[in-house]
Structure 1
Amino acid sequence: MKKIIKFLLCSLLLVIFFVACGEKKEEKVVTEDKPIVIGQTFVVGAIEPTVGGTPWSLTTHGLSETVFSVDRDGNLVSRYVEDVERTDKLNWVLKLKKGVKFSDGTEVNAEALAWAMNTVMEENPLSNATAGKVKFEKVDDYTVNVTVERETQNLKSLLTEWTNIIFKKGDKGYIFTGPYIIKNLEPEVSLTLEPNQYYENSEKRGEVIIKAISDMASMKLAYESGELDMAFGITPEIASELKDEGKIVETIDAGYQYFGVLNTATGIMSDKSVREAINLGLDREDYIKALKGGRVANGLFAQYFSFAGDVKLEYNLDKANSVLEEDGWKLNKDGLREKDGKILSINVLTYNSRPDLKIIMQVMLSQLKKMGIEAKTSIVDNIDVEAKKKEFDVILYAQHTASTGEPTYFLNQFFRTDGSKNMMSYSSKEVDELLDKMGTLPFGDELIKTAKQIQEVIYKDLPVLYLVDPEWNVALSERLKDYKPYCGDYYIVNSELYK
């Protein structure tokens, strides 16, 4: 009898053992850390931290960080700087935090930060917009003196500008300070990231894979199949379809603005009457309907900012046609405007990484046709390269115009005479003087008033067309249901991606 009881007990223990093993195996499959996979319209090409818009790409990919950054509540915060003190009109002192490290384990001290910022200022002219070429000088191991070329009242904001990332040169390439490092890069196709072990709470993070998918139908299929945990920047139509399927879709205020950049230096857009006519003949409400969201622009900034414009856009097709008639552009037998034997034809460009702009382009073509204007369109990969050729009439462009939480950087970049992103060849003594004044003002009522005034002058001069204050759509897997994008696409991959 004892042998039977012993046998039964042994059998029972074996059953419990195998059941437990089976449960552990099943738990392992459920809790196994798989990479978070993100689909978006672009992946960085070359890792060049001082070339054009590359530093922005490195930050949105989670590789780099600016000296200050914007948190979810819109505050300017820094992992690197303890205190900022202004000592005179053009000089500031930064007191650095101790113990913050690059991804190779070396410290971000005064010498390292000063070298990075001076290199940015020398090699990337886009960094010189707000205060000219800024100089950084080590005082001691954790103190940096900062000297600006043009007066500014907010050094924190300047150090938040997307050009101003911290980096160093290593034996095998550049080294950054963001929450992730590169495991594998297939330029402009895919990027695999792994946690930066020297970044706070690195043990809570896993791998991230970013895939460049410019075709929205392919993006949708990849998301629906479970290949993607996040589909960033999907079109309104796809967002609506996914919502109908019960999928998780976040709709956000983009912070970006959609506007038309006009070549005022050469070609047909140098004629202000043509610019005025086109501005009058574009019904922006048609864009809002096509995009299924957003608002008609009232200036150059998202409407939740205190310094957003107060411009009231006028749509009047009859008036637009009258302006063209008075300027000598008569309708020919084909319904096209003609003057001195020349057809009124414009080249309209946009680019693949912003799908909404392609939608606006299609609507705009029909609107231009109603004015008797012929339009030739091109969709390119690198719009900034094309802009430098000055062979365009109109570029449909998207920009986060207040990524630092204030208007100075963008306005100086785009609208100061000879500004680093003044693609329009725009020059206005009045705007330049207002920008100089803005540099002397702390953030407050007077600066807000000045920013609004600049937007009124720009609307009068029409180097750009105000179009749309957009919304964006992001599809998420159940795994990322609590993910909340912020500041447009500036921090898609961030330290909080893994919860």
Structure 2
Amino acid sequence: MKLTKSFKASRKLRAGIAMLLTAAFLTAGCGGGDGQKAVGDNKTFTYGTVAYGISNENVGTNPHDTYVGWSTLRYGIGETLFRFTESMELEPWLAKDYEQIDDYTIKINLKDNICFSNGKKVTGEEVKKCFDDLLAKHDRAPKDLKIESITADGQSITIKSKEKVPALLNYLSDPYGCIIDVDAGEKDKIVVGTGPYVATSVSDTEIDLVKNENYWGDTKPQMDKVIVKSITDGDTLTMAMQNGELDAVQGLPYASLELFMNNDKYKVSQVDTSRIYQIAFNFKNEDLKDLRVRQAISMAIDKDNFTNVLLHGQGTPAVGPFPASMPFGDKAVHAVPFDKEGAKALLKEAGYEDTDGDGYVDKNGKNLELRYLTYTSRQELPLLAEAAQADLKDVGIKLDVNATNNYKNFLKTGEYDLFSNANVNAPTGDPEYYFTTHVLKNSAYNRGFYESDKMEALEEQLRNTFGAENRTPIAIQMEQLILDDCAYFYASHLRMSFVMKPNVKGFSAHPSDYYEITPELAKE
């Protein structure tokens, strides 16, 4: 497989990660203290993860910057007005309750006992400032929320939308909806949130956190210090966990995960998520404009082999963008089957045959050769690239793989024909999130430049329909349209696994892929 230098880099085990000194902190009420003052005792939680890094666009703590909100929410720095239960149902968090005044207007009442980590009270006016800043700076939020105006009155805000937004509360529960103190600003990639922990140091590879002494929740943070380390090399991550240098890890290589399963020395928390490994077809490529070519590629890649062999069964072969556990998921749609002979027939029908005997099909004297772009920070993606390259070679398609964490530069210059990434497609439990971000003409992450008037019309219908039972049939139509057009190839849904020492409690995988460091996190 032809890979970039970044993926060819040596996988020799690196030196163990040094344990860091810890500190306890002075107690302060909602009205005082800076939430960061240290005293005393040794109580640190060290966490190694593959999910933090530049390639994931989540370095920092400011939720108003690209996907940084995932770090804000995951690592206990910020919180949203509403959150999701383990069954993906909405429940109030910073909000006390809400009232749907009409199809365009909603009033949200805030809890009265919440303060930022700097001691400043969270009021309706502070939330309004936060959302105003979000709408001014974020790429996805304005398109999702479609807010016309926000007014504040004491401990409440009233949001008026430009059009109907049935999934508004779901969108406000996205990580970009974390409430931060805008007046405090951002210093060294650090913002002031309401969560149980406060960031003290942020780099491209590590976030250091301390207990928020001003935390408003009934359960106070149990750890004095939390260290989140970005460790993208699987062998290093595995060895660090085995050597006891980490208290918990997320993102172990699947071959390594088996070392920790059914082992009394460790605890494992697993959950099926809506994260999927997908491939977008670039419709600007002349070869890929032919539906038969896209179908042939989709029929040639063996999802079962990828999931069961390369992922060691830690996932489920996908049909569409959503797992079967959701009412609008895989059970409701169908895709082209795995059929390499059928793929060859489609290519021949489209005019591609191996006329020179080099093993690759050609047309008008040119081989069908495609540039495949992906990144290495998620271990599954290079494995999918390897599988796709081998499978497509079997049907005569040459795939040049570029697996690099500098992939954004290639996206900007358009130097790719297929782009593979990992994405959480229904983190808010509502399907519209995926459609608005990936398949509409103006979607921020429509990497294939897919356009469909029918899709735009269905989205218009979806955004004006309230009630899950009414939205589901529309979502299914939209998924099926993606599959019929072969705009994306969906490989596998992910099963998330957290491995931890047996003395760790209050640390578990969540189906939304949002909540990791919580007040309940503790070491016995």
Q: Structure 2 length as normaliser, TM-score?
A: 0.84
Indicate which of 283, 306, 311 corresponds to 1:264.
283
> Residue 420 of structure 2 aligns to a residue in which SS?
strand
CA distance in 2, matches of 1:301, 1:203: 34
Query: C-alpha displacement at 1:67, in angstroms?
Result: 2.3
> Residue 491 of structure 1 aligns to a residue in which SS?
coil
Indicate which of 346, 356, 359 corresponds to 1:323.
346
CA distance in 2, matches of 1:448, 1:381: 36
Matched to 1:324, the amino acid is L
Structure 1 position 299 matched with structure 2 position 313: no
- Greater fraction helix: 1
Query: C-alpha displacement at 1:316, in angstroms?
Result: 1.1
> Residue 292 of structure 1 aligns to a residue in which SS?
coil
Gaps of 5+ in 1: 1-31
Match of 2:210 in 1: 194
Gaps of 5+ in 2: 1-40
CA distance in 1, matches of 2:271, 2:338: 27
Indicate which of 278, 285, 288 corresponds to 2:297.
278
Structure 1 position 465 matched with structure 2 position 474: no
| The structure with more radius of gyration | 1
Structure 1 position 436 matched with structure 2 position 460: yes
Structure 1 position 141 matched with structure 2 position 141: no
Alpha carbons 1:235, 1:473 under 8 Å: kept: no
- Cα distance, 1:306–1:171 mapped onto 2, change above 3 Å: closer
> Residue 49 of structure 1 aligns to a residue in which SS?
coil
Query: C-alpha displacement at 1:361, in angstroms?
Result: 1.4
Matched to 1:180, the amino acid is Y
Query: C-alpha displacement at 1:273, in angstroms?
Result: 2.2
Matched to 1:181, the amino acid is V
Query: C-alpha displacement at 1:134, in angstroms?
Result: 4.9
Match of 1:350 in 2: 374
Alpha carbons 1:128, 1:134 under 8 Å: kept: no
CA distance in 1, matches of 2:116, 2:366: 60
Alpha carbons 1:130, 1:408 under 8 Å: kept: no
- Cα distance, 1:149–1:416 mapped onto 2, change above 3 Å: farther
- Cα distance, 1:264–1:56 mapped onto 2, change above 3 Å: same
Alpha carbons 1:350, 1:357 under 8 Å: kept: yes
Query: C-alpha displacement at 1:179, in angstroms?
Result: 1.4
Match of 2:256 in 1: 238
- Aligned-residue CA RMSD in angstroms? 2.1
How many pairs were matched up? 467
- Cα distance, 1:157–1:292 mapped onto 2, change above 3 Å: same
Match of 1:16 in 2: none
Query: C-alpha displacement at 1:482, in angstroms?
Result: 5.8
Query: C-alpha displacement at 1:224, in angstroms?
Result: 0.3
Indicate which of 42, 46, 59 corresponds to 1:45.
59
Match of 2:198 in 1: 181
CA distance in 1, matches of 2:210, 2:344: 57
- Cα distance, 1:302–1:171 mapped onto 2, change above 3 Å: closer
CA distance in 2, matches of 1:257, 1:172: 32
Alpha carbons 1:80, 1:108 under 8 Å: kept: no
Match of 1:404 in 2: 428
Alpha carbons 1:346, 1:375 under 8 Å: kept: yes
Match of 1:36 in 2: 45
Match of 1:222 in 2: 240
Matched to 2:311, the amino acid is L
Matched to 1:264, the amino acid is F
Structure 1 position 117 matched with structure 2 position 141: no
Alpha carbons 1:110, 1:143 under 8 Å: kept: yes
Q: Structure 1 length as normaliser, TM-score?
A: 0.88
Query: C-alpha displacement at 1:300, in angstroms?
Result: 0.9
CA distance in 1, matches of 2:436, 2:304: 29
Query: C-alpha displacement at 1:459, in angstroms?
Result: 0.3
Alpha carbons 2:507, 2:517 under 8 Å: kept: no
Indicate which of 189, 207, 210 corresponds to 2:228.
210
Q: What is the CA deviation profile of residues 335-365 of structure 1, one whole-angstrom value per residue up to 9, with x for unaligned ones?
A: 0111112221111122222111221111111
Alpha carbons 1:131, 1:151 under 8 Å: kept: no
Identity within the alignment, %: 23
Matched to 2:343, the amino acid is A
CA distance in 2, matches of 1:110, 1:382: 41
